[in-house]
Structure formats: structure tokens, C-alpha cells
Chains A and B, each alone.
Chain A
Amino acid sequence: MKVRIKKWNAVATWRWDIPDDDVCGICQVHFDGTCPTCKYPGDDCSLLSGKCGHNFHMHCIVEWIKQESSKGQCPMCRQKFEWTDNPALNAPAIVAG
């Protein structure tokens, strides 16, 4: 039997390329959701990964770093928070579904 595909719709889901059960330590919302100020997850509400290895919603960590009391430190390990340009994190991983 031969099948000729006349038309097809690609469907994909995406998720951040980090462990499944991770929540943002600041807002306590799962990384696949948005930070509490945003409506849609994705490029508009990206994650930021510190050189120390700790991840947060960008909006959450920026809000913390703005606080004088943060002293520029990572909320998890209190090392100076510097972000990496880890492409795996800055671009969502596409998982075909």
C-alpha cells in the first residue's frame, strides 16, 4: 500500500531545557509557567541562568538584583549573580509532539 501525504500540520510543544520539577525559587512557580507578572511563557518571559548554576525567571531575578539588600548576590548561594549566555537556556528546547 502506498500512502501519499497531501497535507500535514506540524504540532510541537516546548519546554525549558532544565530538570522537570524545577520551580523558580523566587516566585515558586514552575519554570514552564510564567513569572507572576507575565501572561504567556516563552521568549517574552525567559529564564536567566547564573554562572553559579541557579536559574530564575528573568523578571524575578532582575527584581531581586534591583533591591539594595540583594548586594547583587544569587538568592540561592549568595555568590555574585552573573548570568551566562548559555544558548540551551536562552532559547527554548523544541520537543516535537
Chain B
Amino acid sequence: MASSNRLRRIGKELADIQGDTASRIKAEPANGGSDLGHLHASFPGPPETPYEGGTYVVDVILPNEYPFKPPQMKFKTKLWHPNVSSQTGAICLDTLGTAWSPVLTIKSALLSLQSLLSTPEPKDPQDAEVASMLMKNPDQFQRVAREWAIKYANAPKSTQWETNIAHSPTNSRPKPQKNISREEQMRLEAARYQGYNKDLIDRFVNMGFDIDRVVEAFIFVNIDKNNGEDYELEEAYMGDITARLLGEP
């Protein structure tokens, strides 16, 4: 019974999305199937952002309890944004979690995602690396976000965004470019691990933390370097490292 309600509502929502061509939001059952519980949706990247001209595809799973539980959304299109994992497409947005309300819809959630692209929030990151780049080096962030939009989201190479950026005085000034060799680069990279095994550190980096912060946490918790060899950490240590990374006491 509960699931037929859910299907009825999802059906209505899809009809509404298909009837509204102005928003350029699309949604349909995934893989051309008839399962209304799994959709593929897409929306255009917002104008005047690095995502302009791109098309962002989102995987949408509607749980059995929908609309009492939020739709599970993640990006299928890779994008460079502090609140979206650059690895998995996982999204950090309160309306898709604790702030969900059953009067919200698939369309309103997609509009929230579109608006999230215009207003990145690096202080509540899903991807720590992207967030730290946005805070420390906004120009570089814009550049990478644009490159990814062209590479993954099919954004044209030239849009209004490029024209504006190219003409804005802060971005057109030449930047000091250090030419460092590949060996030098690798040496610098190795130095960041401070004697710890790369794979060992990268298991935390892959969760979205910055290399330097992970290494700092390892040193703080006093983790054995094991002569740079990889090894299995005890659970208690894992907990201490995670707590340190998340800034818990």
C-alpha cells in the first residue's frame, strides 16, 4: 500500500517535470526501465559559474518511505565543487538529509543542487581537498572547476563565463608560474608523507582529507612509520586519527 502511494506521487512528479520545459530539468527512469524508484535526472550548470553550459546528471534513488524519507541523490557527472565528492559524486546538502520535508519534491531537490553549484560552502565540505583549494586559491579552484565542466559535463570551451573571467582585471593579471620539473614535483610530494607509507596515508586522503592534515593527524596520534611500509592500523588508532581529522576532542 505504502509503495503504491509512493509510485503515484513519483509518477505525478515526473509528469510535472516533463511538463516544465523552462527549468530545463529532466528526469526519467534509469536505464530506460520502468522502475520509478531509480531515476536519472539532469540539470544545466548555473550561468556565471564555472559550471555554465555543462549538463549535470544525477542518480536518484527514491527509498520505500519516500516522501517521508529524502531521495538519495548523487552526481553521476564528475564535478569540482567543495560540497560534492570529486571521487564518488556524494553530495553534502542538508535538504537531502536532516532538513528534508515531505512537501519537497524531486524537482525542488534538483533546483537546490543547481543552486548549490552557484553557492559553494567550503566550511561544510564533502570534499576537503576541493574546499581547501577554494579557500586558499580561489583562482585555481575556478580554473579546475571549469576544466572539469568542459571535460566531464560537456560544457563548451567558450561561454559567457570565459568572456567575463577573461575581462575581469583580477583574473587577467599574469600569475607567477613556477616551472618545476617532474622529479622535483615527485620529491615534494614524497616529502609531504613525511616517511609514512603512501597507501597508508592515502586511505584517509581518499575519504576527502588533505594529505598534510592526515600526516599531521598521524604524527599527533603518534602512529608508527613502520619504515615506510604499508600495514593494517588497529581500530583504536583509526578512531583517534579520524577524531583528530574531524576536529573532535
Known contacts A63-B68, A69-B69: A27-B101 contact under CB 8 Å: no
**A9-53: contact bitstring with B at CB < 8 Å (1 yes, 0 no)?**
000000000000000011111000000110000000000000000
Number of B residues with CB within 8 Å of any CB on chain A: 18
Residue of chain B at shortest CB distance from A60? B102
CB distance from A6 to the nearest CB of B (A): 47
Q: Which residue of A lies closest to B67 (CB)?
A: A26
Given A64-B68, A75-B101: A28 in contact with B1 (beta carbons within 8 A): no
Query: Which chain B residues numbered 101 to 115 have a C-beta less than 8 Å away from chain A?
Result: 101-103, 105
Alpha-carbon separation in the docked complex, A69 to B151 (Å)? 39
CA distance A29 to B67 in the complex (A): 13
B176 vs chain A, min Cβ distance (A): 50
Q: How far is the CA of A37 from the CA of B68 in the complex (A)?
A: 15
User: Is B213 an interface residue when CB atoms closer than 8 A count as contact?
Assistant: no
B65 cross-chain contacts in A, Cβ below 8 A: 67
The answer to whether B9 and A27 touch across the interface, beta carbons within 8 angstroms, is yes
- Selected contact of B5 from candidates A27, A69, A75, CB within 8 Å: A27
Which secondary structure dominates where chain A touches chain B? loop
A76, CB-defined interface residue at 8 Å: yes
Residues of B86-113 whose CB lies within 8 A of A: 98, 100-103, 105
Q: Write the nearest CB–CB distance from A89 to chain B, whole angstroms.
A: 19
Across the interface, do A26 and B103 meet the contact criterion of CB distance under 8 Å?
yes
Of B1, B4, B12, B100, which contacts A69 at CB under 8 A?
A: B100
> Is A80's CB within 8 Å of the partner chain B?
no
In the assembled complex, B175 has its CB within 8 A of some CB on chain A: no
- B interface residues (Cβ-Cβ under 8 A, vs A): 1-2, 4-5, 8-9, 12-13, 65, 67-69, 98, 100-103, 105
Taking Cβ atoms with an 8 Å cutoff, the residues of A that contact B are 25-29, 36-37, 60, 63-64, 67, 69, 73, 75-76, 78
Closest 7 CB pairs of A and B: A25-B103, A36-B5, A75-B101, A75-B103, A26-B102, A75-B102, A67-B68
